[in-house]
Amino acid sequence: MNENRRQILEMLAAGKITAEQAERLLTAIEAPASTNGIGTDVAPAKVKTKVKYVRVLVEAPEQGGPTTVNVRVPLQLLRAGVRLASLIPAQAHNQLDQALSQHGVPLTLSQIKPENLEELIDHLEDLTVDVDGSQNQAKVRVFCE
């Protein structure tokens, strides 16, 4: 335990400060506020962690016991795939787009650019999909971590 924390707890135990004041002091020493140059405290900005994986969890009860699928796909794989797709010649892009479209995948590879990938990944951070199957009680979750 650091010295400041110990002193705050001692002041609380001695009755010199209230529990609310102790809580505010502890919060202040754990996450010190930055100043804006005028001396006014500004709340610290929320630190955004970088999403590293897309996770798919499936839990389905079966007759022989529960079936669990746990897939964790690194987003680095997505980054590498987009970089590789940018190396495909334009003529091949058209053929691939047509083949994907015929198989029900409405994707245009030529429109996926490496420079736009980080924006896409940033939006994936908010992705959470929960599916509950009422007939067989299967539970599916897709999320980013």
| Whether the predicted pLDDT of 70 surpasses 70 | yes
State the sign of the Cα–Cα–Cα–Cα dihedral 134, 135, 138, 144. Answer: negative
Domain boundaries, the chain: 3-33, 53-144
The continuous run of DSSP H or E covering 139 comes out as: strand 139-144
What pTM was estimated for this model as a whole?
Answer: 0.45
Average pLDDT, the chain: 75
User: pLDDT class for 135, splitting at 50, 70, 90?
Assistant: low
**Percent of residues, the chain, with pLDDT higher than 90:** 0
Which stretch of 17-31, 40-54, 67-81, 125-139 has the lowest confidence by average pLDDT? 40-54
- Bridge partners, 142 (sequence order): 56, 129
| Whether the predicted pLDDT of 27 surpasses 70 | yes
Which of the 8 DSSP states describes residue 65? Answer: S
Nearest CA to 49 out of 114, 121, 142 is that of: 121
